[in-house]
């Protein structure tokens, strides 16, 4: 299938500032889910401003102008870094996706529509068109305490930060103090604000094409279910595609039934390994529950499709091949088939830096590289392996092994707090550290 990344419009261009708004768990608006937040002095937040007010704020206008000029937008540094490493970035994926969607399947028509959006952009960067896609991280309410998350990401970490801070030093302790302070200053109440759901979102529904729900854990929230019911009642569901970022531990039958009313539902399943390894990374997940939910998803019907999103980090990078082999062996019909050839999408963890795969000793990197090369030889026609290999290439770009002691003390603190056993769960990695 042809790809269209819109680089001829501008090498830094991304369509999302013209059609999309994302949020952080505390109500901070973002250009997209991987973008850097607005500068502190800009003070824009859904706790005290509406979506319409934010849509043509200085942050959005500046991003549009900068991209049209072909310059790099600081908020988008994540994508630029990945592209420099040869990785297909979120910017590239979204440009290709929306070029096709806006053209009703035709990249050519979609590109024409995007050029019209750019042409209609005023000199100050403002636009009249309303957004058509939303990426909502609905607060920090969650049922898991994932290793890479903090209390701003998951309510399960609230009250546990001091246990990490008091048992670590240096950048680990500093990182947790900073995130604890960030969480204490954050207001997650915007998710419960009736005006947000009844006014802001409802007004956008006639033009809405796509809504992404994340968290926290979105399927954990009653207000999310109520909003789906409202969309169905108002008759807009048939025009709207839904995407979820979910940890695959919750799958209520009521929501499965509601999803049948929507144009399309895509699940991004955050799973980082097999069995106890995923349970350790996404504590305290239950692998048996996840496997049962995967079977339910695979039998749900044509309206539902799922992908596995694996967060590649220093802990699981050595086990990516085993995870991939397990997925292939399941022979799923609705999970990972359309885009990932039965495998997973590798989402690279950049922060915290002491969990990034670049911190690993060279012998671990060499073994991880050898494993993926062997997998590629075993399945030469599976192009998704090349995308996974790009994550390995990213790991090999830089040596930050000076952070390995920080990694080790964090792992020790986690095990002590949870009464888990890293060495028993990841024996091959433990022997090489």
**What class has domain 137-432?**
alpha beta
**Mean of the pLDDT values across residues 265-289?**
97
Which of 202-206, 310-314, 344-348, 379-383 has maximum average pLDDT? 310-314
**What is the reported pLDDT for 1?**
47
Distance CA 21, CA 29 (A): 7
- The span from the CA of 313 to the CA of 76, in Å, is 21
Q: CA 123 to CA 260: how far, in whole Å?
A: 43
Q: Predicted confidence band at 186 (pLDDT cuts at 50, 70, 90)?
A: confident
Query: pLDDT digits over 19-64, tens only?
Result: 999 998 899 999 999 999 988 666 789 988 899 999 999 999 999 9
Pinpoint the residues of the chain covered by CATH 3.20.20: 137-432
Residue with tokens 């009642």, as numbered in its chain = 233
Q: What is the chain's Cα-based Rg?
A: 21
The pLDDT score that the predictor gives to residue 188 is: 87
pLDDT tens-digit map of 229-255: 999 999 999 999 999 999 999 999 999
Closest by CA to 214, choosing from 271, 135, 281, is 135
Task: Name the pTM for this structure.
Answer: 0.86
Strands (E), 82-190: 133-137, 145-146
Residue 219 backbone dihedrals phi, psi, to 5 degrees: -75, -5
Q: How many CB atoms lie within 10 A of CB 186?
A: 19
Mean per-residue pLDDT, 108-131: 94
């Amino acid at each position: 299938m042809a790809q269209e990344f819109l680089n001829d419009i501008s090498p830094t261009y991304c369509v999302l500032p013209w059609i999309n708004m994302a949020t952080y768990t505390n109500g901070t608006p973002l250009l997209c889910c991987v973008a850097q937040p607005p500068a502190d002095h800009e003070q824009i937040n859904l706790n005290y401003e509406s979506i319409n007010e934010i849509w043509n704020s200085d942050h959005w206008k500046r991003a549009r102008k900068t991209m049209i000029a072909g310059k790099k937008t600081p908020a988008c540094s994540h994508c630029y870094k990945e592209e420099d490493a040869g990785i297909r970035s979120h910017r590239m994926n979204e440009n290709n996706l929306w070029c096709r969607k806006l053209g009703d399947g035709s990249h050519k028509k979609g590109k024409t529509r995007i050029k019209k959006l750019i042409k209609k952009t005023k000199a100050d960067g403002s636009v009249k068109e309303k957004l058509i896609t939303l990426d909502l991280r609905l607060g920090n309410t969650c049922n898991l305490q994932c290793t890479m998350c903090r209390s701003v990401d998951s309510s399960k970490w609230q009250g546990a930060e001091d246990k990490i801070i008091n048992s670590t030093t240096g950048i680990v302790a500093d990182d947790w103090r900073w995130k604890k302070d960030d969480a204490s200053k954050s207001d997650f109440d915007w998710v419960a604000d009736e005006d947000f759901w009844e006014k802001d979102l409802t007004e956008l529904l006639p033009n809405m094409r796509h809504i992404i729900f994340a968290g926290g854990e979105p399927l954990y929230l009653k207000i999310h279910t109520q909003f789906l019911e409202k969309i169905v009642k108002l008759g807009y569901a048939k025009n709207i595609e839904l995407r979820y970022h979910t940890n695959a531990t919750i799958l209520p039958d009521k929501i499965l039934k509601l999803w049948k009313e929507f144009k399309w539902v895509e699940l991004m399943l955050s799973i980082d390994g097999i069995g106890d390894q995923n349970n350790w990374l996404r504590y305290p997940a239950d692998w048996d529950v996840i496997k049962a939910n995967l079977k339910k998803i695979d039998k749900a019907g044509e309206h539902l499709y799922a992908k596995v999103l694996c967060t590649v980090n220093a802990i699981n990078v050595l086990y990516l091949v085993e995870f991939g082999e397990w997925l292939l062996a399941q022979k799923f019909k609705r999970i990972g088939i359309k885009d990932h050839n039965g495998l997973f999408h590798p989402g690279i963890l950049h922060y915290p830096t002491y969990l990034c795969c670049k911190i690993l000793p060279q012998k671990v990197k060499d073994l991880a590289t050898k494993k993926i090369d062997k997998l590629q030889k075993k399945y030469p026609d599976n192009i998704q392996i090349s995308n996974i290999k790009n994550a390995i290439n990213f790991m090999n770009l830089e040596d930050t092994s000076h952070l390995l002691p920080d990694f080790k003390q964090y792992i020790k603190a986690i095990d002590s707090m949870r009464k888990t056993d890293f060495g028993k769960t990841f024996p091959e990695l433990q022997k090489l550290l």
